[in-house]
Structure 1
Amino acid sequence: MRPKIVLALSAFVFLHPASADTRLSDYVRPMVGTQGEGNTFPGPSAPFGMVQLSPDTDPITWATASGYEYTDPSIMGFSMTHLSGTGIPELGDFLFVPQTGEPKLDPGPKDKPDEGYRSRFSHDQETASAGYYQVKLLDSGVNAEMTAGLRSGMLRFTFPEGQSSILTDLHHFLTGDHFKMIWSHLRVEDGSTITGMHLVDGWAKERQIFFAAKFSRPFDSYKVYSDGKEVKYDSYKTYRFRSSREVFGNNLRFLAEYDTKADEVIQVKIGISPVSVENAMANLDGEIPEWDFDGLMEKTKSAWDAELAKLQLTEGSQEQKETFYTALYHCFMAPTLYQDANGEYRGLDREVHQAEGFTNHTVFSLWDTFRATHPLFCLIQPKRNVDMINSMLAHYDQSADHMLPIWSLQSGETWCMIGYHSVPVIVDAMVKGLEGFDKEHAYEAVMATATHPEYDGIAAYEKLGYVPFDLENESVSKTLEYAYDDYCVARMAELFGKEDDQARFEKRAASYKNLYDPETGLMRGKDSTGKWREDFNPHEYVQMGDFTEGTSWQYTWHVQQDVEGLAELMGGKEAFVAKLDQLFTFHDDETTDMEDVQGRIGEYWHGNEPAHHVLYMYAVAGQPWKGQEKIRHILKTQYGNRPDALTGNDDCGQMSAWYLFSSLGFYPMCPASDSYVFGSPSIEHAVMDLGNGRKLDIKAENQGDANVYIQSVEVNGKPWTDVRLPYAEIKDGGNIVYHMGPAPSQWGAGDRVK
């Protein structure tokens, strides 16, 4: 997640009446998050699939990091790969563009589609559902449909009568200003098949990807272009072109030309691979052997039905079910599959590896997803979560830096964000008893990562007990996030009985205390001599200052591993709660509305991940009702079933995972601990499938918009007064019953912070 922009809210609302035969996938609204802050994409993907086939409206802006922004007026075309909810443009590989009339080779500006191959479109003639996307391109009159499998996808274009074409643009990808296309290769295999690859210097350096595409109708004619010029073979003038059937360069395009009848359908099926053209073709042929668009769509929709059944909302309004299942859908978009059908994948060392005993995944947005997404996977995707951990360990083995992933993308490490948040993912899985990965090897990787002397101030952090601001940007945030990660390392050392390591990292986990300023009652930067930062404004957001995407007021609470210690620094639990109250009531002269489209309530910023555990601190501090009211308010106002319903980047499912846990009434406030913290459920009845026949049944009696306060709780038939829910109570299934009411109760109040 990176800095936000503010967009106006849309009045668009999805209204789809439910019927008796409604499938779970029918509730999914892929348009949610495509307008404003969410940065999701509307096109089809299989659960955790390697292909995300979706329209691109702009290749370069923050608002179109996923390729698509709901308010854009035109569509460039449809590319094979996309990121879900991130804040940096990347992927968008291999753009397919249907055209009519005289073909164009460049997209042109999005507000002037007539100057290029873009086309205007209308949301009235656009459909998106799980496994399917359709749009009518108004300028060309082409109806475009698409569906996707795990490693392949299908396009179905319905053309009007006349001169038509399908352009494949290998130069296109989603990019920042400093990214560039390094090299491409295109080959015409026969009269209806093309293959190729490109190498991109993007967010992930030297990102290499291959494709194979088959067209349902042989080309009437075709052209190959390099740097905008048609390639015509002349061996005396160039060495790059073996023939007009094969071309190399960094700006390549292929044009398939047709004379079409009215309403003629031409389909394209495409496979991709991180390894080779041959693997891309094998992925394609193995997954889509026939020209059966509807069959592939049904297969993918059924796959979504099966995955969505792992967390079912059995009662609720249409809007609530659409919001709930769309959130679950977004959680299951990433991390993505990153290996071919034969088990091969390209590793961090750029070599081809064979996955042995696990399925390789990529797209680890760990600064975000360690908080709730991976803890959710521990419950309802345990096998896949173990595959992801094995993928992280493979990354470590292939890393020249001998580190676990920070923010890995395909065969690259982006080094985006801070902390070493592979660690809580691995330790949380160990604490929850997940099997299937080498724990000794994991311990080695965790220790090597947490002690790496050249990573972002770690050496100074261990020596001084904090990261000094004169040596490192984002020094306070790094200190706080390292301290949490070190708590996780200490828990892992405890599991292994390594007392010296445990003591070392428990000391490091308390490092947050060294940056607590008793004068302001907030976290504050120190230099390497121990002096406080003098020009300290606790409300100031400075990119690459002492804090990461936040202010001192927001980051002061990033101590989920030791709430009691933070409360003691603040003068006890009453003072702690009073200070926490101020987070939500801050107001300055420039702010007339405490809540904006970025998810702000006072200084609390729900649209960004470091805030996600904060509301649950009220419960641990003995006043759970204060958090309950605010949790329900956020569930109601900052989520929904509209395109503009997400108030922050979804960040590979983290915003959505917060919604799911919170709507169920409990949250992993401190991943890698052995418990959750109760909040305020917004559902009436849900069932979580833990696998092997184990189910957790969750009910909220007397539920309603006004009844946001817990009056009592039963866990597995026992009255429950503790605000913490131990994992041991739910790991084998069981039931949770909440009794709700309109006024705060004394449930959960007591001598807290223990």
Structure 2
Amino acid sequence: MSTARTEAHPLGEPGNLPVRSVLPATLLLLGLSVFTDANAKEPNRLVDYVRPFVGTQGEGNTYPGPSAPFGMIQLSPDTDNELWETASGYEYSDSTIMGFSLTHLSGTGIPDLGDFLFMPQIGNPKLVPGTKADPDSGYRSRYSHDEEEASAGYYKVKLQKSGVTVELTTGERAGMIRMTFLANAEASILTDLHHVLTGKKWKVIWSHVRVEDNSTVTGFHLVNGWAKERSLYFAARYSRPFDKAEIISDGQPVIYNTYRFRSDKEASGANLQFLAKYTISRPESVIVKVAVSAVSAENALKNLDAEIPGLNFEELRDKTRTKSERELSRIEIEGSQEEKETFYTSLYHAFLAPNLYQDITGEYRGLDQNTRRAEGFTNYTVFSLWDTYRATHPLFALIQAQRDADMINSMLAHYDQSVEHMLPIWSLQGNETWCMIGYHAVPVIVDAYLKGVKGFDPARAYEAVKTTAMNPNYDNVATYAKLGWVPFEKENESVSKTLEYAYDDFCIAQMAKALGKKEDANYFAKRAGNYKNVFDPSVGLMRGKDSQGEWHSPFNPHFYDEKMGVNDFTEGTSWQYSWYVPHDVPGLIALMNGKKQFARKLDALFTFREADQSKGVSDIQGRIGEYWHGNEPSHHVIYLYSYVGQPWKAAERLHEVVKSQYGNKPNSLSGNDDCGQMSAWYLFTCMGFYPVCPGSDYYVIGAPQIRKATMHLSNGKTFAMNANNLSDKYIYLQSVALNGKKIDNPFLPYSAVSAGGTLSFEMGPQPSKWGTNPQIPK
């Protein structure tokens, strides 16, 4: 158990951050607000640049409500709970709000959570939400963006139906909902235990609610969702005692009907609501303090009492904003107002997940559904690993190392509790969803180990990565190991799986080599070359192959249809996935007949024009030819220009993507943010380099998109980047210097970053000869 560490460590690793990032304690002692009036007085506070509405319109699937960095609770409005496309519960273009639920996912492509919806009402309370077309048929309310605001740690909206103003703020496990009612009203606050984000597929299997006293309610529900068996408890404490409390089951009040005694203070069922009723004679605010636990209602109450025992709304808001300020201060930049808003919103989003998943007691619900206790580490959940291994976790290895180690220990606990003895694939609140492909906990662990992240056992971690990669039951890994590829007639998405297994195997080989396990290193290095087995030289692209070694025919390299459900590629085409050999780009260049042909083919990716632009993945936008920036398989592709001596083309495309597919508006994300991966790509790209191959010892230099950035590394060192003369016209690298010494190779060693120093770029309006003779690291 590490309760003390749990409470301290979300503030960061002491000693590594600038003093100015910490809010003076005297402000908090005086109870002064740092949100409203203080914003005008403190224009340099980084939290003031955060725009939580970014990504809430379209396919970004972010939520606008408050969350502490990596917090366990995320209070946010829900505008829809049925649309698959509204996976976070909130769509900016919707004109009605259903209510405010306690948990949310950030940027995922599949809906879940949205647990325990709270909604104030006036008059005769409604028990069903109603529809968008007819919100008056239920408790749903119209609202206007003119009467809505969001910032780091705070959300506010006025509900037009009731005139109630709702404000939200959170800590790590607990939060507050402040509802300000108008005078002379019969008011109620509904808690709908039946509400979750269903996507028209998921449902609440069972629930329980209990009125503990005249101002405290606890409850539970079991959800069959993306996470197949997800249990969650809540506790709610109201600032004003109830005038009347009522439990509703299947639309009917829970009462003693004289036949057999039935308490009206608790109930169980699949469709429960709770109503706290009040007579309001003058304008009045009722604050509901809420907390969650995956273990028990008792623990939810402990979380509530431990985190916000005596804090008022403003104090909790300010405390969370102080934590966010400290986390955002890990990277400081210079730039325009829009650049700062885009950058710090991206960093904010990158620091929303994975989520804390243990109570103040150190307990959490394990993968085996037993109550577990985190010993010596802080437990996390929501591992969107197919996405976040690419840039999010490599960013954590640099500036969130302690937390990264805790996340790895959480993955190892998952492995210990797994009946398949596997690391997580896509884990969610004590469940394995088996979503996406590969075994990408491996590169997270290997990259952290090779980058010097401390705090986990390398021997135990290596056992877990090796065992996972050798599992005989998982997605035809055994066939892949035997044949050297995944046959398309035996496994859907066979080509993508072959390519991603090969990369993961490269990572295992690197860790085995570092640990002196020569035989394992050789074995997995050989498997890492399996990508060659699905390259068809007759078409110059990756292609499906059956177990007899015959190519899949007919073959359309531009084909992908998610509605069919059967494809050789995962959320992409052959043209997109043929670039996925991050661990052996020289080998891929050789397969494509050298650098010139490789570059020509890369050019063609960006200039291809599909006659039907509606074809493809429904939640992916941001297309440039057949390059889809809105989905992860494309994220490393632009940087491949640096491997073939054409860095100016990378500069052009990076500038195009940053300017057209990121920004500070609600619709500024071109695809799902995927628990911070889209944002992490932007952060690295702005700083001028990117981890094309996590698990290697280098980054690839692209072209910086901001004038200056300073990273405060977890090891206590500082790494700075300067882009001299950078503008919308001066986008090309003219020269690069590391600590004052010029370098001409577009590869930046990890050792240079971790040692601290300064990377200086000279920018110009035309391409130069810089980086045209790359020496690719071995």
Q: What TM-score does the superposition give when structure 2 sets the normalisation length?
A: 0.93
Question: How far is the alpha carbon of 1:178 from its aligned partner?
Answer: 2.9
Q: Does 1:687 align with 2:706?
A: no
Question: How far is the alpha carbon of 1:434 from its aligned partner?
Answer: 1.0
2:549 to 518, 522, 530: 530
Provide the secondary structure at the position in 1 that maps to 2:317.
helix
Provide the secondary structure at the position in 2 that maps to 1:730.
helix
Question: How far is the alpha carbon of 1:111 from its aligned partner?
Answer: 2.2
Letter of the 1:57 partner, please give it: T
Report matched runs for 1:185-224 at 5 Å. 185-224=208-247
2:536 to 514, 517, 528: 517
Which residue is 2:682 aligned to? 659
2:745, 2:773 within 8 Å by CA — same for their partners in 1? no
Q: Does 1:427 align with 2:450?
A: no
Provide the secondary structure at the position in 1 that maps to 2:372.
strand
How many residue pairs get matched? 735
2:455 to 436, 452, 459: 436
Report matched runs for 1:287-686 at 5 Å. 287-290=307-310, 292-313=312-333, 315-543=334-562, 544-591=566-613, 598-686=621-709
Which residue is 2:31 aligned to? none
Provide the secondary structure at the position in 1 that maps to 2:603.
helix
Letter of the 1:624 partner, please give it: P
**Take 2:723 and 2:115, find their aligned partners in 1: how far apart are those partners?**
45
1:151 to 169, 173, 192: 173
Report matched runs for 1:66-215 at 5 Å. 66-161=88-183, 162-215=185-238
Q: Does 1:266 align with 2:289?
A: no
Which residue is 2:15 aligned to? none
Question: How far is the alpha carbon of 1:592 from its aligned partner?
Answer: 11
Letter of the 2:456 partner, please give it: F
2:291, 2:303 within 8 Å by CA — same for their partners in 1? yes
**Cα deviation digits, residues 641-695 of structure 1 (max 9, x gap):** 0000000000000000000000000000100100000001011111100135411
Q: Does 1:708 align with 2:727?
A: no
Question: How far is the alpha carbon of 1:597 from its aligned partner?
Answer: 7.6
Q: Does 1:277 align with 2:290?
A: no
More deviation, 684-693/113-122? 684-693
**Cα deviation digits, residues 587-609 of structure 1 (max 9, x gap):** 14345999x98011000010000
Which residue is 1:739 aligned to? 762
**Take 1:86 and 1:181, find their aligned partners in 2: how far apart are those partners?**
20
**Take 1:381 and 1:610, find their aligned partners in 2: how far apart are those partners?**
25
2:84, 2:200 within 8 Å by CA — same for their partners in 1? no
Provide the secondary structure at the position in 1 that maps to 2:85.
helix
Question: How far is the alpha carbon of 1:177 from its aligned partner?
Answer: 2.7
Residue segments in structure 1 that go unaligned for 5+ positions in a row: 1-15
**Cα deviation digits, residues 106-160 of structure 1 (max 9, x gap):** 0011221011000000000000000000000011111000100000010000111
Q: Does 1:696 align with 2:711?
A: no
Which residue is 1:255 aligned to? 275
Which residue is 1:34 aligned to? 56
**Take 2:614 and 2:501, find their aligned partners in 1: how far apart are those partners?**
36
**Take 1:394 and 1:235, find their aligned partners in 2: how far apart are those partners?**
51
Residue segments in structure 2 that go unaligned for 5+ positions in a row: 1-37
Matched-pair identity in %: 62
2:771 to 744, 748, 752: 748
Provide the secondary structure at the position in 2 that maps to 1:629.
helix
Which residue is 2:16 aligned to? none
Q: Does 1:245 align with 2:265?
A: yes
Letter of the 1:662 partner, please give it: T
**Cα deviation digits, residues 691-723 of structure 1 (max 9, x gap):** 354111111111111111111111122111111
More deviation, 497-506/405-414? 497-506
**Cα deviation digits, residues 155-191 of structure 1 (max 9, x gap):** 0001112111000000100113332211111000111
Name the CA shift for 1:367/1:692 in 2 (closer, same or farther; >3 Å).
closer
Letter of the 1:649 partner, please give it: N
1:18, 1:318 within 8 Å by CA — same for their partners in 2? no
**Take 1:297 and 1:20, find their aligned partners in 2: how far apart are those partners?**
16
**Cα deviation digits, residues 421-452 of structure 1 (max 9, x gap):** 00000000011011110111111100110010
Letter of the 2:206 partner, please give it: W
**Take 1:393 and 1:171, find their aligned partners in 2: how far apart are those partners?**
33
Question: How far is the alpha carbon of 1:363 from its aligned partner?
Answer: 0.2
Letter of the 1:519 partner, please give it: S
1:197, 1:209 within 8 Å by CA — same for their partners in 2? yes
1:144, 1:158 within 8 Å by CA — same for their partners in 2? yes
2:255, 2:262 within 8 Å by CA — same for their partners in 1? no
1:17, 1:318 within 8 Å by CA — same for their partners in 2? no
Provide the secondary structure at the position in 2 that maps to 1:691.
coil
Which residue is 2:18 aligned to? none
2:560, 2:615 within 8 Å by CA — same for their partners in 1? no
**Take 2:194 and 2:163, find their aligned partners in 1: how far apart are those partners?**
25
Letter of the 2:396 partner, please give it: F
Question: How far is the alpha carbon of 1:235 from its aligned partner?
Answer: 7.4
Provide the secondary structure at the position in 1 that maps to 2:57.
coil
Which residue is 2:306 aligned to? 286
**Take 2:538 and 2:765, find their aligned partners in 1: how far apart are those partners?**
39
Q: What TM-score does the superposition give when structure 1 sets the normalisation length?
A: 0.96
Letter of the 1:104 partner, please give it: K
1:73, 1:111 within 8 Å by CA — same for their partners in 2? no
Name the CA shift for 1:279/1:443 in 2 (closer, same or farther; >3 Å).
same
Q: Which runs of 4+ in 1 moved over 3 A?
A: 16-22, 234-237, 588-594, 751-754
**Take 1:156 and 1:587, find their aligned partners in 2: how far apart are those partners?**
51
Question: How far is the alpha carbon of 1:21 from its aligned partner?
Answer: 4.0
Please give the root-mean-square deviation of Cα atoms over the aligned residues, in Å.
1.7
**Take 2:415 and 2:450, find their aligned partners in 1: how far apart are those partners?**
21
**Cα deviation digits, residues 613-636 of structure 1 (max 9, x gap):** 011111012111111110111111
Report matched runs for 1:218-237 at 5 Å. 218-234=241-257, 236=259
Provide the secondary structure at the position in 2 that maps to 1:278.
helix
Which residue is 2:22 aligned to? none
**Cα deviation digits, residues 454-499 of structure 1 (max 9, x gap):** 1001011111111001000000110111111011011011111111
**Take 1:359 and 1:290, find their aligned partners in 2: how far apart are those partners?**
25
1:621, 1:753 within 8 Å by CA — same for their partners in 2? no
Letter of the 1:245 partner, please give it: K
1:216, 1:291 within 8 Å by CA — same for their partners in 2? no
**Take 2:311 and 2:770, find their aligned partners in 1: how far apart are those partners?**
60
Which residue is 1:9 aligned to? none
**Take 2:774 and 2:58, find their aligned partners in 1: how far apart are those partners?**
43
Question: How far is the alpha carbon of 1:64 from its aligned partner?
Answer: 1.3
Which residue is 2:34 aligned to? none
